[in-house]
Amino acid sequence: MSWITKVRERAALWIDQVASAMLAWREALRPPRFARLVEEDDGSFTLQETAAPRDAASKRNSPQTAPVETLPSPFRITDGAIAPVDAARLAPRLARARVEIVLRPERFLFRPLQLPRRAAEFLEAIIRSQIDRLTPWSPAEAAFGFLPEPGAASERMQVTIAATARALLSPFVEAVRGLGVEAVSISTPAPDGGAATIKVLEQKIEGAVEAQRLRRGLATLIAGLAVAAFASIAVASFAGGELEARRDEIDHRIVERRAALHQGGDANSAAALALQQKKHETPSSVIVYEELSRILPDDAYLTELRIQGDKAQIVGLARDAPELIHLIEQSPHFKAATFFAPTTRSPSESRQHFFIEAQILPVFPEATGQ
């Protein structure tokens, strides 16, 4: 079995479960209506609108209902159809109702069956397995119901079985199918002449139609969602391909730029020469700090140091300011040292305030030859 078949089966099962749950929920919220079509001795039928069943046992074996209204004029079911005039009169009363058709006992075959009382929970399965022995019909051809004997103290109980051919009941089901009924059941009075009836057949009519509609709706919804999902995947694939192409283009450009930078790394290239020239022409601040610390005497200290381009300006105090000019001139990192402001001395101090400016020589002077 292919995975497509498995997915289809899982989807169909899910749709059936959802449709059944929705119908059960709606049925629980909507109060049911009940009606009875009772066959008279002359073969005509009368309509009895009834109340709901009172307990589970009566619901299973055609409830003991309380008639609300009986239509005075009877109608007939001939060849699986009701006369149009009678159908128009019945349709408003039977629409969305659970209809019970009570047929005369003459249409059924009754058989008694003695069973242990402990078999009460398995009566339907037991009777179905013996229906071909008790009746002329096979389990597939027979429509049957049963009525257990009322409670007794003995270990055995008698079950009354009512059976007939399904083909004989089909015309009655078809007759009310077109009236919008929700479900139809067929029963017959028990042979003991009491008020109890035996249900031999039950079919859901409108519920099955609505379930089919819900299944089609859910299937359409799933198909629409699947189409939307595939469309989303296609759009995502197209957009992803476009983004992938753009990323490849960017990667290609990066590779080209790296190759260009690698080619420009030659020592004889213009970019390399420019970097070398800048290296030779730019003074090093660190070396300026280090050189001044080395050449200045211990009795001199700086209060300010400024480096502007290739010039350094120092301001501070020293015992002999002119001697500083000589020391700076002797350094291989400076030249053209001079005072850019007058040297002063306060009456209370023994040191002179100096303001000296000198030109900074390149850190790596260019070689004059190879």
Distance CA 159, CA 166 (A): 21
**pLDDT tens per residue across span 30-72:** 567 788 999 998 999 998 866 555 444 444 444 444 444 555 5
Question: Which CATH number is correct for 281-360, 3.40.720, 1.10.3470, 3.30.450, 3.30.1360?
Answer: 3.30.1360
231 burial level (CB within 10 Å; 0-12, 13-18, 19+): exposed
Task: Show me where the domains of the chain are located.
Answer: 31-213, 281-360
**pLDDT tens per residue across span 266-310:** 555 666 666 666 666 666 788 888 888 888 898 888 889 898 888
Position 150: which residue type?
P
Distance CA 360, CA 84 (A): 121
Q: pLDDT tier at 103 (50, 70, 90 boundaries)? A: very high
Helix (H) or strand (E) holding 101: strand 97-102
321-330 and 285-295 are packed helices; what angle lies between their axes, rounded to 10 degrees?
A: 120
Looking at every residue in the chain, the average pLDDT score rounds to 80
Distance CA 330, CA 328 (A): 5
**pLDDT tens per residue across span 249-271:** 898 889 888 887 776 555 556 66
- Whether 187 and 199 have beta carbons less than 8 Å apart is answered as yes
Q: Which of 187, 190, 213 is nearest to 34 (CA)?
A: 187
Distance CA 78, CA 172 (A): 9
- What do you get for the CA distance between the two ends of the chain, in Å? 85
The b/e string for 68-90 (b: 16+ C-beta within 10 A; e otherwise) is eeebeebbebeeeebeeebbeeb
Q: What percent of the chain has pLDDT over 90?
A: 19
Please give the structure tokens belonging to residue 26: 């709606």
Instruction: Give the CATH class of 31-213.
Output: alpha beta
Distance CA 234, CA 47 (A): 61
- The pLDDT score that the predictor gives to residue 210 is 58
Within this chain, domains 31-213 and 281-360 share the same CATH topology: no
Q: pLDDT tier at 153 (50, 70, 90 boundaries)? A: low
